Amino acid sequence: MRAIIGYGSSIRGEDAFGLDVIKELQKLPLKETKLISVHQLTPEMVLELQDADEILFIDSCHDEKNPYALACSLREQSTLNLSHHISPKTIIYMLRSLYAKNPHFYIYSMMSGSFDGITDNVRYKDRVSMTADYIVSFGGE
Amino acid sequence: MENRKIIIDPVTRIEGHAKITIDLDENGKVEDAKIHVTQYRGFEKFCEGRIYTEMPAITARTCGICPVSHVIASTKAIDKILCITPPQAGINIRKIINLAQIVQSHALNFFHLSSPDFIYGFDAPKEDRNIFKMMQTHPQMARDGINLRAFGQKIIEELAGKRIHPTGIVAGGVEHKIEQSQKEAILSQIPDMMKIAQGALEFFKTNLHKFQKEIDSFASFPSLFMALTNENRTLEHYDGALCFMDSEGNILKDKINPQDYREFIGEAVEEDSYLKSPYYKPLGYENGMYRVGALARLNIAKTCGTPLADEELKKFKALGGGKPVLNSFYYHYARLIEIIYAIEKIEELLNADETMNENVKVTSKISNLRGVGCSEAPRGTLFHDYQVTKDGIITAVNLIIATGNNNLAMNAGVKQTALAFVDSKNITDGALNRVEAVIRCFDPCLSCSTHALGIVSSKIEVRDHNKKVIQVIDRN
């Protein structure tokens, strides 16, 4: 099973990028795929991800220098943290250490210069579509 | 020796962003210590001009961990403006959701934020003193924490629509009645969750003897206590009246209608923090320092009203020898008892016939131009106070967040702990961890509802009286 998690704030402009990609993906007939929209990653999410062979995290990333740049990374670059919200790396760490699961994971990010709104609606929508298409092209449909 | 300042920034394993400064005198002794809340949110101002119906959704964004508390206080304030009382089923469902949040929030603090200190000790190497080490050495305990949090979050999602920033709690009640299948699904988990909660409490009590010095010096002092309580002083998280108790157990004032809170609570502002410093008005600023949250609630309550929690409450109260328990280290103890209570109460409310009634909401029009909503959040008493025009436009907002009520006590606690453990000639990581840990006793929620704009390293700077950094300790 493949899990795709879009996370961010629905009322903070481009921070909703992950949520909007999930909305795009919901229109498509993806097989054996669990789509999850959340405000933030939380510890108990690991219970939903135990059966996932592959996990895709979709987020927006604050970067004023490269707005609307897309990145697919990164495996181990996010920070290990645990509070009421956690990082992708922490999710993977928890799956490995507590549930003996070792899924592949990727993080798809769109750089954003501001979360105060959507600065360029055309480019934003284009990046949402591009990311959804890219994910679909790598299996699951 | 020059005056020096030790800065712990950011404080770790709490919700939100804060730093601690410890001022040393010319002899290198701790002179003062403070917690500075470095986030500015501005909700009270930017809510002005909004329509009142938006307030639950807006104020829920105050926080990503206790949005339910804000939604409940907000909708209760609007209930007052509309002059309506929700149907009993609506009230019961709100209560269940509120208790579910108590469970998930308290579970996070105990299992994932504080337990590394209890397992490895406050002087353990920082590499070992964290949740990730705990996952390796105590995986079942980590899984228990996840399961208990999932239990609370699932209830919130099922009954209120979303786990974070739920929309199902509305003015006049709730949006949806409880389905039989939802009721059965929640009830089926109760035995396992109770087993986890009781196991955690047993673990904590078994290990308490290791922490006598911390118990004695982690914000252990006389103060007032404030909480909502029922007429017969049973534990209450949703409704009731405000009660102030002193450190001897005397009731200073009770049966305070939350609508009248301003007569009894003053709000001071300090230059070095964005967090308000509320105090009990009749005793004045600082003398009116009070504590809220689980410790205060259990000190004020005569009973919990549920059998298993009441058994534990008797043992808890014995710690105070007939008087209130003054040691903030026991906030952890009190939270664990509250988890047991919340699980019992959720079961009781779900099994009440009126909870399943289909009538869960009433509506009305504006009747009052001011409304105060008050409830017990995981961290203490929460106030939402709105003023509106007759057209429903918000003209003034006053919020007293649960954590803010504890501001004066947290500062006093930081100083007490620094005096007890910080030696300027040998500043150890264990000592600084204790200064942070006293804050974790209060489980402050300094708020974090959006992504951080970067990762700040955990760093301690030692500065002289000219603010010149003379020592840097990287705590990563």
A10 Cβ contact list (under 8 Å, min separation 6):
A16, A19, A39
Same domain, B19 and B105: no
Banded model confidence at residue B459, pLDDT cuts 50, 70, 90: very low
Taking residues B185-214, report their average pLDDT. Answer: 97
Residue ranges making up the domain that contains B440: 4-39+417-474
Lookup: tokens for A77: 């670059």
Whether residues A42 and B112 touch (CB distance < 8 A) is answered with: no
B19 and B145 co-located in one domain: no
Answer whether residue B53 is part of any domain.
no
Residue B106 lies in a domain: yes
CATH number, position B134 = 1.10.645.10
CA quadruple B444, B446, B450, B455: dihedral sign: negative
pLDDT value at residue B389? 97
Structure-token pair, residue B344: 């019992």
Q: Is A26 on the interface with B (CB under 8 A)?
A: no
Q: What is the DSSP letter of B73?
A: H
Measured on CA atoms in the order A105, A138, A7, A32, is the torsion positive or negative? negative
Residue B262, phi then psi, degrees to nearest 5: -65, -20
Percent of chain B with pLDDT over 90: 66
Q: Which residues pair with B170 in a beta bridge?
A: B173
In chain A, % of residues over pLDDT 70: 89
Residues 6+ apart with CB under 8 A from B179: none
Top pLDDT among B151 and A119 is at B151
Rounded to whole angstroms, how far apart are CA atoms B58 and B69?
A: 13
Q: Do B93 and B202 lie in a common domain?
A: yes
Dihedral sign computed on CA atoms, order A114, A115, A119, A121: positive
Mean pLDDT of chain B: 88
Q: Is the confidence at residue B453, as pLDDT, over 70? A: no
Give the pLDDT score at B24.
82
Helix-, strand-, coil-residue percentages of chain A, each rounded to 5: 35, 25, 40
Which of B64-68, B99-103, B434-438: highest mean pLDDT?
A: B99-103
Residues in chain B: 476
CB contact under 8 A, B149 and A42: yes
The answer to whether residue B393 sits within a structural domain is: no
Distance from CA of B66 to the nearest CA of A (A): 10
pLDDT tens-digit map of A36-78: 999 889 889 999 999 999 999 999 988 888 899 888 765 555 5
Crossing angle of the two packed helices A121-137 and A17-26, in degrees rounded to 10: 50
User: pLDDT tier at B34 (50, 70, 90 boundaries)?
Assistant: confident
In the numeric block, which tokens belong to residue A11?
A: 């009322």
Quick one: average pLDDT of B96-106?
A: 96
Of the candidates B15, B146, B162, the beta carbon closest to that of A84 is on: B15
In a domain, B280, yes or no: no
Q: Are residues B187 and B332 in the same domain?
A: yes
- Measure the CA–CA gap between A5 and A57, rounded to whole angstroms: 5
The answer as to whether B353 is a domain residue is yes
Same structural domain, B109 and B214: yes
**Secondary structure element (H or E) that encloses residue B404, with its range:** helix B402-405
Which burial class, exposed, middle or buried, applies to B351 when counting CB atoms under 10 A from its CB (0-12, 13-18, 19+)? exposed
Q: Do B184 and B104 fall into the same domain? A: yes
Amino acid at B143: R
In the prediction, which pLDDT does B467 show?
53
Q: Are B137 and B26 in the same domain? A: no
- B131 and B206 both lie in a single domain: yes
| Of B234, B244, B326, B337, nearest in space to B294 by CA | B337
Distance CA A11, CA A116 (A): 9
Residues from chain B that touch A39, judged by Cβ atoms under 8 A, are 64, 162, 164-165
Full-model pTM: 0.89
Q: How do residues B139-198 score in pLDDT, each as one tens digit?
A: 999 999 999 999 999 999 999 987 777 889 999 999 999 999 999 999 999 999 999 999
What is the H or E stretch that residue B399 is in? strand B394-400
C-alpha B182/C-alpha A118 separation (Å) is: 38
Q: Of A111-120, B205-214, B314-323, where does mean pLDDT reach its minimum?
A: A111-120
Higher pLDDT, B8 or B328: B328
Predicted pLDDT at B456:
32
CA A122 – CA A125 distance, rounded (Å)? 5
- Which helix (H) or strand (E) element contains residue B67? helix B67-82
Is B310 inside any structural domain?
Answer: no
Give B403 or B458, the one with higher predicted confidence: B403
Do B26 and B169 lie in one domain? The reply is no
Kindly state whether residues B120 and B180 are assigned to the same domain: yes
State the ipTM, two decimals. 0.83
* Same domain, residue pair B214 and B334: yes
Which position has the token pair 């919130």?
Answer: B156
Share of chain B above pLDDT 70, in %: 89
pLDDT band of A89, cuts 50, 70, 90: confident
| Minimum-distance CB partner of B165 among A39, A97, A98 | A39
Q: B295 lies in a domain?
A: no
B27 and B150 share one domain: no
> Average pLDDT of B196-218?
96
Going by C-alpha positions, the residue among B3, B126, B132, B145 that lies closest to residue B436 is: B126
The DSSP code for A103 is: -
Per residue in B342-401, pLDDT (tens digit) is 999 999 999 999 999 999 999 999 999 999 999 999 999 999 999 999 999 999 999 998
Q: Is residue B318 part of a domain?
A: no
Q: Which of B363, B391, B408 is the last residue of a domain?
A: B363
Question: How many structural domains is chain B composed of?
Answer: 2
**Tens digit of pLDDT for each residue in B265-296?**
999 988 777 788 999 999 999 899 999 999 99
| Closest residue on chain B to A9 (Cα) | B450
Domains and CATH numbers, chain A: 2-137 (3.40.50.1450)
Distance of CA B139 to the CA centre of its chain: 26
Write down the residue that tokens 């001897």 correspond to: B248
Confidence of residue A139 (pLDDT cuts 50, 70, 90): low
Contact between chains at B450 and A46 (C-beta distance less than 8 A): no
A64 contacts in B (CB within 8 Å)? none
